[in-house]
Chain A
């Protein structure tokens, strides 16, 4: 349960709400038990009295209190259920809000290497599912056992009216039964959840391979061969799915049957008590009916066990690095470097020195091989090379996103490792190769660069990337929603929006990774001219396919096989 500890701790601040929610759940169950038990008592009592009257015996039965009780329970069950659902869903959504915020903060403290792993891995695919599992931890995992236990105690108390010993026995038997159901579901759930996750990840990967490799596999005539792998993964994944679903169904059926058996045995015991004069007929009938009403609160226990197991697996996946959602500050993403970091910003245009830097990837391939480049303060250097040759790695190293395997990079005379990252980021602008846009308005996307930016500033930046006319033509202008569930931007438009964001800053050092990708020639020329002008007052490094794909620079270098030459 260790992985769940931070989430349980988080629940603690909701103690009040959670208790009210559990009480409402219990009131619902208790009303159900009351309704059925009282109805059984009432019918039997009336039947007995009716039989006496028919036999000419003067008998009376107070009917208004039980009748009113039955009506009250019927209404209170409905009302309690309705408010319980509303109230608990509100709690769950509050938890969801907190969890998202905390998980995001936790992720934002990851160091760049961990971040890269996060982006490429399966974690991102599952992130929202995992968070949903955890926000449902209380409602679907923790509260059902508590409510079930309270309901069992209530039924035990009702049985004690007839025979205290029977109440005690039933409490023990049902608690053991419910506990076993929960425990078994938790244990098998853990094992099967892991297996299901692994097998469905394999299926996903092989399906993805089949799609991305369609050209190769078709051409080589190996489609059938690879399809076997997909089919195998599919069968495997389905088998595990089936197994977990069937086990849960069987578990539920057996638990239900256990409650039914208990009810039948209680019935026989109660009738025996009635015949030996130890209890009245109506009470004897009320007893098994009260047990039958437990089907509802107990029936959800196997699902609750599975839910707990799944929540634990989700928590495990989310425990990245060493931080926890309660204290994300622990993992500040700066590695093991204990040196005092430079927290003083770049005073002016910095010089940049790349000294004998090498970067090793995969199985020992040198992506960057003993690279040395010196960039003077205020100079703009262009580095070109075909895609994949390591340009983006240079950019990422300069921005401190990945670490060189050997050699040193200094900015303004300070080694990049000795900078406080946020200090450095404040003075540099780094346009990554990948365009990161955020679902939100144009304005929202631009304000990422400058929170306080006013509209004229945004229009100026948009004009520099030739996007002003387009934004103005949209229905809501700067407030038009782009991205997910909003307006689709073309790759070129997205790129220009990302560039506009860079233009909104006033950095000393600029790193542009393929700034003009996706732009048509005419726009590229215009944007390029604006970039050249803007770069003249800053130190700059621009990376691209070739000189034609970047603004005018002071010096052009060619990167090939991990090293540079002054090719142009």
Chain B
């Protein structure tokens, strides 16, 4: 039951539930859509090309075209467009808007004046070059974030981890990341259950000093649990023959459709770069 006065409690449960939903939910990844059906390795390579394209494009219309293709891919992959837009646009102000706003003024981007703002003794001038640079920057972030979100939504986290092999990331590093993913959930559950057990014994209200003590003890307990767990997991690895260099089974199998998709992505990448060079 929700307690409107318990801000910290609700925030904690909210964060935990967000973690569970965002990190562990594989609802979209298990759907039978276009991107879900592609070989994760080739999909990752094609998306790497899209990211590179977004970095090099200097024309807003081409970035918009790249964004529209991303939206089309989302629809083809059976992703709810409203959910997708909400998930991407929430990051845009965070990553770009606050950085881009100062760039529109003449202090940072001198050029042709299009508007002037008078703030008491200060005069802020917006320039055409500044505005263009800001729009380009926001668009670039928008496209990159959108492609990153669609890739993570349509690929299981376990596959994303294995895909890292093709980028020559050491296997031991990938395995450690996989274990982090595996055990975060366990610790999220421990925190959740600990919070509920404290709540059940304190009735939801505790003096702040007592609260501080409980939180400190629980942080220490969680640290101790994770330390013991790491030792036990290492023993379990040794028991099954681990000797410092993990071996994995490559179970990916690319079909002709996957190669066709990669071919199309390369053609699209080169065309956009060509148009970009021609339009400048």
Say if A and B assemble together. Answer: no
Binding site for A on B (CB under 8 A): none
